[in-house]
Chain A
Amino acid sequence: MFLEIKQLSKSFQNDLIVDRLSLSLDQYRTLSILGKSGCGKTTLLKLIAGLETADQGSIRVNGEDMTGKTPAERKIVYLYQEDLLFPHLTVRGNIGFGLKLQKIPASDIKEQVDLMIQRLELQGQGDKMPHQLSGGQRQRVSFGRAIITNPRLLLLDEPFGSLDVGTRQRMQELFKELTALYGITSLFVTHDLKEAILMGDDIGLMKKGSLQVYLDKQDFLLDPLTGVRSEIEFWESLLKPNY
């Protein structure tokens, strides 16, 4: 398994947020994690990224133990819920930020950034500052900036939550295209049922710090705890003739 998490726990002031959580994920696959606010999704991602320290448990990526490694050493990128762009850098500067840190030659950075701008459909926007972009454009820059560094693992924390329906749908398609193209392994956290089903190769449900990963999508759809059945019943009730 590419990602293996065993018995991971984290508490904040006696409040158990992640409770002996275990999961495994193959390389180049996306695991969708569905969960309500406060269920521990963000803390789980931050523990994997090394932005929080676990109280117990282990995280291994490609067989390598992540314990004690800094976020920079892990090569795992955590994407915020919001399109958090560096306000002092242009679109080009934001996308190339991670490459610049790796001290890659400027000409190579330019080439890779130009290609990414094209793939993100942001042609002509490269020299703009973040405040000159729309919400969808900002989110694309944020996404491109993470993918271009070719992370071992990409952690997405409700990345499209603030976008309108149309932009969200386009971003979901773009995410699938780019993760396939760049061979990205990812964890995609969302509270949106439809998004969880659409985005993940595998699906998990997180509740009160525990995660249940389903065998397949059918297994997920049949579990009453996921809310899929009640959702289907709701839409069916709208379609039934009203006598």
Chain B
Amino acid sequence: MKSKSAFGLLFFFLLGLLPFAAALVYALLYSLGIVGILSEGVSLTHWQQVIQSGELLGSFLYSALLAGTGVSLSVILALLISMGLRTSLQHRFWSLLMYFPLAIPGMVASFLSIQLLSKAGFFSRISMKLGWIDRLQEFPDWINDSYGIGIILTFVLIVSPFFVILFSNVYQNERIAELSTLAYSLGARGNQVFWQVTLPILFSKTKRIMILYFIFLLGSYEIPLVLGQESPQMLSVLIIRELKQFDLKLIPEGYVVAVAYTVVIAIAALLVFRRKEVQVHE
């Protein structure tokens, strides 16, 4: 049993951790000018340039804002759907309908958003037909816009179904229906049951997944590539843009952004996911 566990750990180290660590070390060396086609020896110049330009910080804050808004809206929408349609979601049809958006790739979802949300898109035309706007150009800018509305709505489209399924499962597994009945019996009213029982239990059981989804959206690429604007850009788009520059001397700056992003996320993840010792006394 012990040897099996050791073999598993070795396997995880060789296939999971080692390539990632090697890539990170390579990126760090590249960012410091130690490796690379045009390396000029150890230097902090690229780090200084990236930090001084403010683009990394801007991109990080912009990405965090969009990812945070996307996860928050998805969670709220999923809560409304999973609590409002609790009985319906147990039926196969509705359940399948919820699973369906999970199968849509980011790139496809992005083009779907363009079809729906652009000035020449579905909603724009419907709005004109209904007489809400006189010309298609009057429809608000939701694609490649400065507030990232198109990106956020697409995040919500692909993320919220996952949370609907998650909340529905947690609701059943944690026996929230019975706990709610108990709370009623102890004197709680409808809103007290929701705010003091349903919501805290759902959040306490899913908060880590919410954080993981935030990290996932923070590093998402296809959706901000298609629906985002030129500046600021989300982190992954910025990193790829920096790495594919024509000026080879500037490529280390791409690695600077990548290393900084990885280190910040790794530290944040370690802080969030550190486990506490739990003792059970029988």
Contact = CB atoms under 8 A, between A and B. Distances in A.
Interface of A: 49, 51, 70-72, 75-78, 80, 84, 86-88, 97-98, 100-102, 131-134, 137, 145-146, 149
B280 A80 contact: no
A51 B181 contact: yes
B187 to A, nearest CB: 5
Q: Which of B186, B188, B204, B282 has the most CB of A within 10 A?
A: B186
Contact of B186 (A70, A77, A133, A137): A77
Interface stretch (B104-112, B171-179, B225-233, B240-248): B171-179
B182 A134 contact: no
Interface in B175-233: 175, 178-179, 181-189, 192, 196-197, 200-201, 204
A84 B204 contact: no
A137 B196 CA distance: 23
A133 B204 CA distance: 19
A86 B201 contact: yes
Nearest to B203: A88
A163 to B, nearest CB: 13
Contacts, number: 66
Contact of A102 (B178, B187, B201): B187
Interface residues on B, range: 20 to 34
B186 A97 contact: yes
23 contacts: A51-B181, A70-B189, A71-B181, A72-B188, A78-B185, A84-B178, A84-B179, A87-B174, A87-B204, A88-B200, A98-B186, A100-B196, A101-B188, A101-B192, A101-B196, A131-B278, A132-B278, A132-B279, A132-B281, A134-B280, A137-B281, A145-B186, A149-B187
Contact of A97 (B175, B183, B280, B282): B183
Interface majority SS on A: helix, strand, loop or mixed?
Answer: mixed
A149 B183 CA distance: 12
A100 B201 CA distance: 17
A84 B281 contact: no
B281 A134 contact: yes
A72 B189 contact: yes
Given A84-B175, A87-B204, A88-B204, A49 B185 contact: yes
A84 B192 CA distance: 18
Contacts of A84: 175, 178-179, 182
Contacts of B174: 87
Contacts of B178: 80, 84
Given A86-B197, A86-B201, A98-B187, A131 B280 contact: yes
A146 B186 contact: yes
